[in-house]
Amino acid sequence: MERIAVFPGSFDPITLGHYDIIERAAPLFDKIIVAIGQNAQKNYMFTLEQRRKWLEESLQRFPNIQVDVYEGLTVDYCKKVGASFILRGLRNPADFEFEKAIAHTNRAITEKHIETVFLLTSSGKSYISSSIVRDVIRNKGNYEILVPLEVRI
């Protein structure tokens, strides 16, 4: 059976932190679907089209990585695409606490066996977050060192 993982997130925008996790997870799965979760309650800085384009361009060199968009529960999306794994990155203890609650909830609300797989951020990338990147962009700072080359505003 194909080992399919979903890497869900907002990717508003994709950062070198996301890229690092994706690059290191690519050899572990047959296919990874980088899935942009659309949440009506969230205010995004960049449009869905823009976030998707940056992901596609940045990840073009990986033959087993696809980009998609979904609404609703991540576990429902996993069922739809036949994924048995959810991929998430961990930066710090706050991520751990948050991710632990989500992973347990996901396991509780689905009968299908879906494992959440965590990769620790590489040293030097753990401080990068989309929200800080957005702040740097808003204030016209040097965001280029925090994102893949393809992300240019």
Residue keyed to tokens 């679907």:
33
Residue 148 binds ligand ADP (CB under 6 A): no
Q: State the Cα–Cα distance between residues 1 and 77, nearest whole angstrom.
A: 18
CB of 63 to ligand ADP, least distance (A): 21
> Which residue in the set 4, 5, 11, 59 belongs to the binding site for ligand ADP (CB under 6 A)?
11
Residue 58 binds ligand ADP (CB under 6 A): no
> Which residue in the set 34, 128, 146, 151 belongs to the binding site for ligand ADP (CB under 6 A)?
128
> Which residue in the set 95, 106, 132, 150 belongs to the binding site for ligand ADP (CB under 6 A)?
95
* Residue closer to ligand ADP, measured from CB, 1 or 40: 40
Residue 29 binds ligand ADP (CB under 6 A): no
* Residue closer to ligand ADP, measured from CB, 1 or 105: 105
Within 8 A by CB and 6+ apart from 85, the residues are 3, 4, 5, 6, 29, 114, 115, 116, 117
Within 8 A by CB and 6+ apart from 153, the residues are 137, 143
Q: Is residue 18 among the annotated active site residues? A: yes
Q: Is residue 113 among the annotated active site residues? A: no
* Secondary structure (3-state) at 138: helix
Q: Is residue 104 among the annotated active site residues? A: no
Within 8 A by CB and 6+ apart from 44, the residues are 10, 12, 51
Beta carbons within 10 angstroms of residue 153's beta carbon: 10
Instruction: Count CA atoms closer than 13 A to 63's CA, side-chain side.
Output: 1
Residue 22 binds ligand ADP (CB under 6 A): no
Q: 93: which 2 tokens?
A: 């203890």
Residue 18 binds ligand ADP (CB under 6 A): yes
Q: What is the binding site for ligand ADP (CB under 6 A)?
A: 9-11, 15, 17-18, 21, 88-89, 91, 95, 121, 125-126, 128-130
Q: Which residues are known to be catalytic?
A: 18, 42, 91, 130
